[in-house]
A and B are shown apart, each in its own frame.
Chain A
């Protein structure tokens, strides 16, 4: 953990050197706000495209979008690999985080204008895959930069601020796309062009205003020969990864949760596309306060409590509670709260456990483990849903989640050593560094459950 890290990696202070000022909240560092702006702008750009994509494919191109799902497995595998490599290369030397993140953002930005020229399912699928690769590449180095830019004591809140800005972008993007299509009926090319311009702006903000060496107040020791292996050997990282995987294996994908909600509460079909907005809104509102809570209450503890919120949401869907609209609001609030208490918080907790020199690799390892686990869960849950029906499948998921949470609580007990973090217990959150609107991994479900 932090003190231990400082000892093992001498000359690598974890903060700007200022002493944490207890009782007074430090301002969120400018670099975090700048990275938040980059994410906000980039999410506006991405979500503009995803909001119009189904309509564009069906109404404009007359394509059948069903062909896309078949490639998801491959794309997810590639995405996981790229994420690990991104984290690893980012740790290579000074400025590495920024360079790899810029490559990731740049790749996604390049994909937007490409959508103007490709008109067939395989090519559009390839462009989307490249876009997603860019996202995989940039997540770990970006989170590393956030963690390096702020005081350990304020990491939870800093990540909360970043995730809130990220989610705000995800909510604004579809709105902007809608306004463009309102001004220009059928103007999908305009949507893609504007999306490309917005994405370029995001890359520019990153290049111009994010310092090349977020951790430049100490010389950042370059990572050793095999940072991924080295980082995976650290007991703290192992424990975090095991817990992230365990809990990820029992985190039902958003799509399944929304389907169950719709069935339980007998919602009108028109509500279905709005459910992710409910989760995102709760995430947006709760990310900062819960990040601050994580700093005081302990990040690992809050991370676990976040999963209890998810368990609560499962419980509401399983229990015979009727179908009042209040239930819907509560379920979505719990779901958004789950993300707010786990997403940025996991990154913060990981940062607590990983020395600066391998921060990117450490984040990538934990995040990739969680993403892979969630992908496995979406497949397993889909099979359970088909075999047993939605209620039994969800009961099974709830029971497994309870067991995972209990095991994780044991694993994440405050360290016995005196090296305990000065800021309480690290926690952890969803790795992909994305709001519920833009974490594809967690919603990967190739289709409606039958």
Chain B
């Protein structure tokens, strides 16, 4: 083949491939634009004031299509299907308690996107912000509202790299003391100090402003740990527990359990662990759950499952009875005030 023919082939290929690339981008852009328009039948969302210390509200990330998609919105907890009030604050992950909110959001830069954690007061005003090293995944506020925690995924930006790790930080609002990486705490596995390079920590849930629970992974296993901010320690309590969520009375942990005999890509079921007896109870939710559940009250769990809008919120009794039900379509990352 002579040079001219080769060049012709190249030019033709550039045109075809360029056409495919542009078509794919335009198609995706059109789809994205569509999500900015509300559709008939979607939950109604209007701009308004969202407060984090009014009793009986449920606050969450609104996933319904339209101009308020991805904003933190609220509805009365008793009427979850009612019209939504949206705050204008966009977050990927969110949680609130004790009149404090934590919002993990994307920052759109000129050449790349970054992420940050924003601590919000009860009127959703920014108190302080912290840069994040990776993609946000979990966020929690302590019952008093004086401590917050978050987890991000950090990757090495490497070629086809698979070296993902988690980084979990805990922040005290009194004095703004930040423990950037819980892996710096001493980790006691079955009472013995455990040092390993492969330790990962994620999914903090607070008991109070000093004590919390979280997941530690090392050596291919996961552990429920009890953390102490003052002693800077993590102590294992139980195995095979991910994304723990402490009940309001502090006696039970709802969590993701990796179960046997299910497909590799859908390994988790929603369980509840009694902290006194270490007895595990399977909930009536039989599908794969990949979320840090939230206790709506002492008896009911709320968690996200993929849905038409990206994510819907479901609910199931914590004692293993009943059956799962949709509580709110097009929503993610709920918190229940007062």
The answer to whether the Cβ of B196 comes within 8 Å of any Cβ in the partner chain is yes
Q: Is the pair A450, B197 in contact by a Cβ cutoff of 8 Å?
A: yes
Interface residues on chain A, size class: 35 or more
**For window 138-175 of chain B, which residues contact chain A by CB distance below 8 Å?**
153-167
Alpha-carbon distance A209/B14, docked complex (angstroms): 15
A53, A64, A131, A183, most chain B CB atoms within 10 A:
A64
The answer to whether the Cβ of B54 comes within 8 Å of any Cβ in the partner chain is no
Instruction: Answer whether A201 and B14 are a contact pair too, CB < 8 Å, given A50-B157, A54-B134, A123-B265.
Output: yes
Q: Can you give 29 contacting A-B residue pairs, CB < 8 Å? A: A50-B161, A58-B135, A63-B265, A65-B153, A65-B155, A69-B163, A120-B264, A120-B266, A129-B160, A132-B159, A132-B160, A135-B159, A183-B25, A185-B32, A186-B31, A190-B25, A193-B21, A197-B20, A254-B158, A255-B163, A270-B116, A270-B133, A273-B112, A273-B133, A440-B158, A446-B163, A448-B154, A448-B183, A450-B196
Interface residues on chain B, size class: 35 or more
Beta-carbon nearest neighbor of B12 in chain A: A204
The answer to whether the Cβ of A316 comes within 8 Å of any Cβ in the partner chain is no
Query: B10, B162, B197: which contacts A208 (Cβ < 8 A)?
Result: B10
Query: A69, A271, A438: which contacts B165 (Cβ < 8 A)?
Result: A69
A-B pair number, CB within 8 angstroms? 233
Alpha-carbon distance A71/B13, docked complex (angstroms): 36
Query: A132, A197, A386, A445: which contacts B21 (Cβ < 8 A)?
Result: A197
Q: Is the pair A443, B161 in contact by a Cβ cutoff of 8 Å?
A: yes
Query: Residues of A contacting B154 with CB < 8 Å?
Result: 272, 448
The answer to whether the Cβ of A156 comes within 8 Å of any Cβ in the partner chain is no
Q: Is the pair B166, A66 in contact by a Cβ cutoff of 8 Å?
A: yes
Query: Residues of A contacting B306 with CB < 8 Å?
Result: 62
B14, B180, B196, most chain A CB atoms within 10 A:
B196
Beta-carbon nearest neighbor of B243 in chain A: A64
Stretch of A143-151, A174-182, A366-374 on the interface side: A174-182
The answer to whether the Cβ of A86 comes within 8 Å of any Cβ in the partner chain is no
Q: Is the pair A443, B162 in contact by a Cβ cutoff of 8 Å?
A: no
Query: Residues of A contacting B157 with CB < 8 Å?
Result: 50-51, 174, 273, 276, 437
What residues make up the interface of A, taking CB atoms closer than 8 Å to B? 46-47, 49-51, 53-55, 58-59, 62-66, 68-72, 75, 120-123, 125, 128-129, 131-132, 135, 170, 174-175, 178, 180-187, 189-190, 193-194, 197-198, 200-201, 204-205, 208-209, 254-255, 268-273, 276, 379, 381-383, 385-387, 434, 437-440, 443-450
Query: Residues of B contacting A122 with CB < 8 Å?
Result: 264-265
- A-side interface mostly: helix
Q: Is the pair A69, B162 in contact by a Cβ cutoff of 8 Å?
A: yes
Q: Is the pair A440, B161 in contact by a Cβ cutoff of 8 Å?
A: yes
The answer to whether the Cβ of B220 comes within 8 Å of any Cβ in the partner chain is yes
The answer to whether the Cβ of B114 comes within 8 Å of any Cβ in the partner chain is yes
What residues make up the interface of B, taking CB atoms closer than 8 Å to A? 1, 6, 9-10, 13-14, 17-18, 20-21, 24-29, 31-32, 35, 92, 108, 111-114, 116, 130-137, 153-167, 180-181, 183-184, 187, 195-200, 217, 220, 263-266, 290, 306, 311
Query: Residues of B contacting A72 with CB < 8 Å?
Result: 162-163
Query: Residues of A contacting B111 with CB < 8 Å?
Result: 175, 178
Query: Residues of A contacting B13 with CB < 8 Å?
Result: 200-201, 204
Q: Is the pair A446, B198 in contact by a Cβ cutoff of 8 Å?
A: yes
Query: Residues of A contacting B181 with CB < 8 Å?
Result: 448
Query: Residues of B contacting A443 with CB < 8 Å?
Result: 156, 158, 161, 163
Q: Is the pair A63, B290 in contact by a Cβ cutoff of 8 Å?
A: yes
B25, B132, B136, B162, most chain A CB atoms within 10 A:
B162
Query: Residues of B contacting A75 with CB < 8 Å?
Result: 162
Q: Is the pair B198, A382 in contact by a Cβ cutoff of 8 Å?
A: yes
Distance in Å from the Cβ of B61 to the closest Cβ of chain A? Answer: 12
Q: Is the pair B17, A190 in contact by a Cβ cutoff of 8 Å?
A: no
Alpha-carbon distance A429/B126, docked complex (angstroms): 50
Query: Residues of B contacting A63 with CB < 8 Å?
Result: 265, 290
Query: A269, A383, A447: which contacts B180 (Cβ < 8 A)?
Result: A269
Query: Residues of B contacting A382 with CB < 8 Å?
Result: 197-198
Query: Residues of A contacting B29 with CB < 8 Å?
Result: 183-184, 187, 190
